[in-house]
Amino acid sequence: MWTGSPDAAEDVAQKVLIRVDGSLASFVPEADIVTWVYRITKNVLIDQDRSGGRDDVLRDRFRLEEVARAVAADGGARSFEPVDLLQHMMLALSPQQRATLDLVDLQGFSAQEASEMLELAPSTVRVHLHRTRRVLRARIEGEETAGESHG
């Protein structure tokens, strides 16, 4: 969900597995393994963004914007993969908002659990979640309005 494409997600998954393997000796058994792996994943994503993963992001953003235009042009009549539409909606969000939405609304973690994974205060996670939902709601309402004007 964070990468914008299945290919980029596979690359991230491979890098995460390599890092997990390389640092397994430092894992503290009393710690939550999900939180530990999530932090590794977050760091891989940050490193990828810094090292030039922007080309992939731009390519995927263009592809998703094409899907959105096609949906608007057809008035929503054509059938698109739900994941493409969700990814299109996610483009309106900051990385922090995407992470919060993914952890709490899509994966079902509590705000407290998400705050530990994101290394944020629980109240900050709740604020991000509130703003994220508001942005998505506005974007969905905008898409519906655009679809109605073309129909």
Q: How far is CA 87 from the centre of its chain?
A: 8
Q: What is the DSSP letter of 129?
A: H
Q: Per-residue pLDDT tens for 102-134?
A: 888 888 889 998 888 888 899 999 999 999 888
Q: In whole angstroms, how large is the CA radius of gyration of the chain?
A: 17
Q: pLDDT band at residue 150, thresholds of 50, 70 and 90? A: very low
